[in-house]
Each structure stands twice: as structure tokens, then as C-alpha cells.
Amino acid sequence: MSATHLTDRRPEVGPDELVAAMCPPPRFDGVRFDTYLPDPAQPSQAAALTACREFARRVGAGRARRSWWQTLTGAGRQATGRPGLYLDGGFGVGKTHLLAAVWHEVPEPRAFGTFVELTHLVGALGFGETVRRLSGYSLLAIDEFELDDPGDTMLVTRLIAELTSAGVCVAATSNTLPDRLGEGRFAAGDFLREIHAMAERFEIVRVDGADYRHRGLPDAPPPVSDAELAARADAVAGATIDDFDALCTHLGTLHPSRYGRLVDDVSVVHLRGVRPAGGQDVALRLVSFADRLYDRAVPVVVSGAPVSELFTEEMLRGGYRKKYLRAVSRLIALSRGSAEPEQDGVRAARAGRTRPA
């Protein structure tokens, strides 16, 4: 067999498909509150689990009250208490697992997406149409919440205000407290009123712990030679192989909302000649690409530089540091998966929990 190339693919995703795809990625299909195993050494994890269970209960109860109120008046009605739950913590402590468990627990209709996917949805539908479509939902779950520029700040704070006023509950995860979003990226001080107004809508829950992806596990395998890379790609059904620079160029021709469709049916991604990203724009596309690979648990094999060197020291000192570190963590896990072909749940269980984020 011969491996195919991601650079030959030009997937299309329509607005209706974007809305229909607002659900947890395949990696989190089976997660529930009962499959989250708090680390006994980190009491905040058990506390976060309790807070998420209670929030999901309130969403369900609020949905019932809202349906009754709408039947009488045709209006939305917000659930009792703050309409938002905000899970703050480091990488790999189970925040996305808990967020997906909340989503699975609450009544339909409900939406789940990363912060980037949400902004892509607004870009595709327009602000008013996005509000119209989501206003009847019980929950909007936003993973990896981050504000990278003033435009995103105004867009998301306004969207959350509109939806929560319509009775939609919002749950989010992030590595940054909501009143500190945007720090190091733009003049956050100019937008403090909007940022603080958004933060007041959330109950903040801290989740502490070490990154499960690296807890007690070996380092990622070293890069292979170009010859071995080609041989491995040809030996696996559904594998792809691409020159790293060519893939970076190709990603620049696609809207990031298409990256998931780009790798939907791929078994293993092989990248030849990996090197540090050639600029901030390229690096941020690689972050989005890595997230979609991780969502789908697609293993990665590389030649050239190791994935841990994908982002330069200068990039890791800048405002997007947390995005880059998250991408490295995920790519190391995916690289390890290519050398150790186990089910993801088995690897996660060995790390001390079942399929966290």
C-alpha cells in the first residue's frame, strides 16, 4: 500500500455542519462523571467533580423551569445562580473530561466546542445568526478558553452576555483565570470592563495536578530517518505522509475550521523534515492542527527535529506560551502513541485516570 498526502486534500465544511459538529470530539465520547478518577493527592480534583455534578443538575433544573416559563410567556429565563462554570487549571488535569461529562449530563440541545471553533462558527454564520441558533440551547461548553486579541474579546464577551441573558448556561475550561484573560497578548487594560463583566458570570473552580500525559510515562520516541518514515507510512492502512514545510503551507490555505475534516479518516500522520515553526502565524496554525489530531487520537511520527522543538524559545516566552506548551504536550503524547499502539483509555488508565483532558 502507499500512503496518501494531507496536502492533496481540500475538505469543505458548511455552516450547518459546523453547528451539527458542536459536540465533544471522539476521544471524549465515553466520558462521564463516574469515569473521572480524582487524584487523591489533589483535593481540588474531587471538589471540581462535585462542582460539575451540581452545575449539570442546575442546568437541567433551569432548563425545565425555562421551558415552563417559555410556554407561558415565550421568553427565556436564566437558571438560578451564576449561569457560568469556569474550570481553571494546568495542562492534563482532566478539565476537558469534566467539561465533556457536563455536556453528556445536561438535556439537549447543547453545544460543545473549543474557543477557536466557536469564533470560527461566528465567522461562518455571523454574530446574529449564531445567537439565534444557540439561544434555545441548555448549555454552551467552551474548551480552551483564551482571548488573543481585542476583536475576540469583544466578540466572545458579547456572545456570552447575549446567550446567558437568553437563559443559556455556559461552562468553560482554561489555563487562565477569566479576569486575567488577554494578559501578555494585547492592551488588556483597555478592555477590563468587558473582561470583568464576563468574569462575573462564572463560578470559578480550580483544578490542580500534574499533566497526566507525562505522569510516569516514558519520553516521546526520537525522530526516525526519512527512509524509515516512508517505510512506516506505506505499511499502515489509512496513513498519510507529508513534507513538514509543504503541510505548513497547505494549512495556510485552509480555514482552521477544516482541520478536523482534514484528518478525520487518517490512522497515522507522518511528517518529514520537522523543524521549528517559521513564524507566529505558522505556529498558531500548527496549534490548531495539533488540537484536531489530539481530539481524534491520531498518532504522529516525524523525521527531522522532535516535536518538542516545534516552537522556538522566543515563542515560548511570548503571549501564546500556554497555547504552544499545550500543543507540545499533546504532540508528545501522540508521538508516544505511534510507538506504543495501545488504546487511549489504556494509556490514560496507566497514567492514573480514565481518559481525562
Higher per-residue pLDDT: 215 or 98: 98
Please report the pLDDT score of residue 215 as a whole number: 57
Q: What's the average model confidence in pLDDT over 290-296?
A: 92
**303: containing domain:** 6-13+213-350
Contact 356, 96 (CB under 8 A): yes
Please report the pLDDT score of residue 300 as a whole number: 97
Backbone angles phi, psi at 142, to 5 degrees: -120, 115
161 and 224, same domain (yes or no): no
197 and 219, same domain (yes or no): no
Distance CA 159, CA 164 (A): 9
Whether 30 maps to a domain, the answer reads no
Distance CA 208, CA 338 (A): 29
Share the mean pLDDT of the chain: 82
User: What letter would DSSP give residue 264?
Assistant: T
Q: Is the pLDDT of residue 49 over 80?
A: yes
**Can you tell me whether residue 41 is helix, strand or coil?**
coil
194 and 114, same domain (yes or no): yes
Contact 269, 185 (CB under 8 A): no
From residue 188, alpha-carbon distances to 181, 196, 340 in Å are: 8, 11, 43
**Can you tell me whether residue 173 is helix, strand or coil?**
strand
Please report the pLDDT score of residue 214 as a whole number: 57
Choose the final residue of a domain: 144, 176, 208.
Answer: 208
Choose the final residue of a domain: 173, 208, 243.
Answer: 208
Q: Is the pLDDT of residue 130 over 80?
A: yes
Higher per-residue pLDDT: 200 or 31: 31
193 and 233, same domain (yes or no): no
Q: Is the pLDDT of residue 145 over 60?
A: yes
44 and 185, same domain (yes or no): yes
Whether 28 maps to a domain, the answer reads no
pLDDT digits (tens, 9 = 90+) for 188-216: 444 445 556 667 788 889 898 876 655 55
CA-closest candidate to residue 143, choices 203, 179, 180, 103: 103
pTM, two decimals, is 0.74
Q: What's the average model confidence in pLDDT over 294-319?
A: 92
CA-closest candidate to residue 66, choices 201, 198, 163, 156: 163
CATH, residue 191: 3.40.50.300
Please report the pLDDT score of residue 68 as a whole number: 45
244 and 185, same domain (yes or no): no
Q: Is 288 exposed, middle or buried (0-12, 13-18, 19+ CB in 10 A)?
A: buried
Q: Which helix (H) or strand (E) holds 337?
A: helix 321-339
Q: What's the average model confidence in pLDDT over 141-162?
A: 80
Please report the pLDDT score of residue 318 as a whole number: 84
CATH, residue 220: 3.40.50
Lowest mean pLDDT among 92-101, 176-185, 343-352: 343-352
Q: Is the pLDDT of residue 131 over 60?
A: yes
The count of structural domains within the chain is 2
Lowest mean pLDDT among 82-96, 156-170, 176-190, 312-326: 176-190
Lowest mean pLDDT among 157-171, 198-212, 268-282: 198-212
Q: What's the average model confidence in pLDDT over 78-88?
A: 74
ω into 83 cis (within 30 of 0): no
Whether 84 maps to a domain, the answer reads yes
Please report the pLDDT score of residue 123 as a whole number: 84
Contact 190, 183 (CB under 8 A): no
Whether 21 maps to a domain, the answer reads no
Please report the pLDDT score of residue 106 as a whole number: 96
Whether 45 maps to a domain, the answer reads yes
292 and 338, same domain (yes or no): yes
Choose the final residue of a domain: 189, 208, 227.
Answer: 208
257 and 132, same domain (yes or no): no
Counting every residue written for the chain, the total comes to: 357
**Can you tell me whether residue 97 is helix, strand or coil?**
helix
Backbone angles phi, psi at 200, to 5 degrees: -65, -15
Distance CA 335, CA 187 (A): 37
181 and 252, same domain (yes or no): no
Grid cell locating 328: 507540545
129 and 270, same domain (yes or no): no
Q: Is the pLDDT of residue 24 over 80?
A: yes
Whether 113 maps to a domain, the answer reads yes
218 and 199, same domain (yes or no): no
Whether 140 maps to a domain, the answer reads yes
217 and 204, same domain (yes or no): no
Whether 304 maps to a domain, the answer reads yes
Please report the pLDDT score of residue 26 as a whole number: 84
Over its C-alpha atoms, the chain yields an Rg (Å, rounded) of: 20
